[in-house]
């Protein structure tokens, strides 16, 4: 009996994801894989079925699934806690409504995977999705794992044009080191160029976010997408995960207004005063809501950091350039009024410029911590990131350890050899794969497909 091919199941939440995964799926079929899609975006479902792809409409299949499931059977101990990302991203406070949505998504994914399991018989299923904290992504992950199906999360790597694949875990990939492997010329040249050109690590899929809110609002492309969303929702009744149109518009209008108000509080980078740098994370980012939820309230963390920072050091903070104005203005103003050692920088200042001048960099799990390493800076991290197990940074287990860690970093900094730093980033490179998410150029699709095939083969061998 011929062994049935492995079926790769993609989840998609938006049309840009659908276009990418559909192209990627067709490439995977050339390698002998079967492909299916779970759509949390009804326009995408129509598109895929119109092109002959095997697609499942999660909203239709989740109908009637409002009764809460046996959460424990899916490995879920506290479903309300898993809704932190949904609440923060969509500014929704009604837990029962979100639990009902979570339940419907679980029911939909359960039906899809059960149907595919029956069809595949001896064939294996593999679920592939971008890392995210939305109910759709989490429902897919937990249902798959409850049925013994591998889940591969895709997320951008530290290196532009490369990605991490994380198997069966919501945690960050674990990359210890440095292991002693010498960095090759390609990695050294990349790192040297990043430092000399002061280039932040920005995945291509996120590059359009790095603008002022006012420019995003009036972007013709965004206006076109807004009109399409309004027509889909109110004229055709199509459902999608990102259906909160009014909330999305309101957030960006408020961001534009707050970015103007915050400008009053901007101060220049200290020229002659030593400081500790805390780069603000994207609010409601999965790196906080899912991987380091203890530090989701960054204002409380900044308040504590200001109180434990030794005199005469200042604390310098800067908004994430992808979401300028997304901070809570009142809480930020209170922090600036309460702490005379706190400085808010203009978000447009190059991050490498700030890192170069800092005495110590404190971060939850920002890639800025890894960039600081390139400049041989002392890094204290509190959360879950790929470089958490790196011996060149100080990872602290709880917030109470921050004050002694700060004193140690200031008085007895790690002796950071550039060779060791580069060797560690060689380890990071070796644990990542070539490819850019959501870019459908033929060359990128081919490269990404080859990377995914390599990872899928590894997954199959370890199954």
Tens of pLDDT, residue by residue over 141-164, are 999 999 999 999 999 999 999 999
Q: CA-CA distance, 445 to 437, in Å (whole number)?
A: 9
pLDDT confidence of residue 226: 62
User: What sign does the dihedral 396-398-402-404 (CA atoms) show?
Assistant: negative
Beta-carbon contacts of residue 173 (< 8 Å; ≥ 6 apart): 164, 166, 386, 431
Instruction: Using alpha carbons, select from 5, 254, 295, 253 the residue that is nearest to residue 125.
Output: 5
Residue 405: CB atoms within 10 A of its CB come to 19
From residue 77, give the alpha-carbon distance in Å to each of 96, 111, 287, 357, 390: 16, 22, 21, 44, 30
Q: CA-CA distance, 82 to 275, in Å (whole number)?
A: 36
pLDDT confidence of residue 257: 80
Q: CA-CA distance, 211 to 321, in Å (whole number)?
A: 7
Q: CA-CA distance, 307 to 305, in Å (whole number)?
A: 5
The answer to whether 53 touches 35, Cβ cutoff 8 Å, is yes
Beta-carbon contacts of residue 286 (< 8 Å; ≥ 6 apart): 85, 131, 132, 133
Instruction: Using alpha carbons, select from 225, 19, 408, 403 the residue that is nearest to residue 393.
Output: 408
Q: How many residues does the chain have?
A: 463
Place of tokens 């899609």: 37
Place of tokens 């780069």: 279
The answer to whether 191 touches 374, Cβ cutoff 8 Å, is yes
Tens of pLDDT, residue by residue over 427-442, are 999 999 999 999 999 9
pLDDT confidence of residue 201: 64
pLDDT confidence of residue 67: 79
- What angle, 0 to 180 degrees and rounded to 10, lies between the N-to-C axes of helices 220-230 and 245-262? 150
Tell me the three state secondary structure of residue 340.
Answer: coil
Residues of the chain with pLDDT under 70: 1-4, 65-66, 121-123, 200-224, 226-227, 229-234, 236, 245-250, 252, 459-463
The answer to whether 29 touches 3, Cβ cutoff 8 Å, is no
Question: pTM of the entire structure?
Answer: 0.91
Residue 277: CB atoms within 10 A of its CB come to 25
Q: What is the DSSP letter of 341?
A: T
pLDDT confidence of residue 273: 93
From residue 81, give the alpha-carbon distance in Å to each of 8, 86, 98: 29, 10, 11
CB-count exposure of residue 58 (10 Å: 0-12, 13-18, 19+): buried
The upper half-sphere exposure of residue 325, i.e. CA atoms within 13 Å in the direction of its Cβ, equals 21
């Amino acid at each position: 009996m011929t062994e049935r091919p492995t079926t790769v199941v993609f989840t998609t939440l938006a049309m840009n994801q659908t276009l990418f995964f559909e192209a990627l799926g067709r490439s995977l079929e050339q390698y002998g894989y079967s492909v299916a899609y779970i759509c949390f975006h009804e326009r995408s479902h129509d598109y895929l079925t119109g092109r002959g792809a095997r697609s499942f409409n999660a909203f239709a299949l989740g109908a009637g699934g409002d009764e809460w499931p046996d959460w424990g059977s899916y490995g879920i101990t506290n479903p309300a806690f898993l809704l932190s990302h949904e609440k923060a991203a969509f500014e929704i406070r009604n837990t029962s409504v979100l639990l009902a949505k979570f339940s419907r998504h679980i029911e939909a994914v359960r039906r899809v995977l059960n149907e595919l399991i029956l069809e595949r018989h001896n064939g294996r299923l593999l679920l592939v999705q971008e890392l995210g904290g939305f109910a759709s992504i989490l429902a897919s992950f937990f249902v798959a794992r409850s049925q013994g199906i591998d889940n591969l999360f895709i997320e951008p790597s530290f290196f532009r044009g490369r990605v991490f694949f994380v198997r069966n875990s919501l945690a960050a990939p674990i990359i210890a080191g440095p292991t002693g492997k010498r960095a090759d010329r390609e990695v050294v040249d990349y790192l040297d160029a990043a430092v000399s050109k002061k280039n932040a690590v920005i995945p291509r899929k996120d590059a359009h976010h790095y603008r002022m809110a006012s420019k995003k609002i009036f972007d013709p492309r965004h206006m076109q997408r807004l009109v399409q969303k309004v027509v889909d929702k109110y004229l055709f009744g199509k459902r999608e995960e990102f259906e909160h149109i009014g909330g999305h518009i309101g957030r960006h209008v408020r961001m534009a207004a707050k970015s103007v108000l915050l400008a009053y509080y901007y101060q220049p980078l200290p020229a002659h005063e030593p400081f500790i740098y805390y780069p603000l994370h994207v609010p409601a980012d999965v790196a906080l809501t899912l991987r380091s939820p203890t530090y989701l309230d960054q204002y409380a963390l900044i308040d504590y950091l200001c109180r434990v920072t030794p005199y005469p050091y200042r604390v310098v903070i800067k908004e994430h350039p992808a979401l300028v104005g997304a901070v809570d203005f009142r809480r930020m103003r209170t922090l600036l009024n309460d702490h005379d050692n706190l400085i808010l920088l203009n978000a447009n200042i190059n991050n490498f410029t700030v890192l170069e001048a800092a005495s110590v960099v404190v971060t939850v799990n920002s890639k800025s911590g890894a960039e600081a390493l390139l400049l041989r800076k002392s890094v204290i991290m509190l959360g879950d990131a790929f470089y958490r197990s790196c011996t060149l940074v100080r990872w602290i287990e709880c917030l109470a350890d921050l004050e002694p860690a700060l004193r140690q970093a200031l008085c007895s900094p790690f002796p950071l050899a550039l060779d060791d730093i580069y060797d560690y980033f060689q380890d990071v490179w070796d644990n990542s794969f070539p490819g850019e998410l959501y870019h459908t150029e033929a060359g990128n699709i081919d490269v990404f497909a080859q990377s995914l095939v390599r990872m899928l083969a590894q997954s199959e061998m370890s199954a």
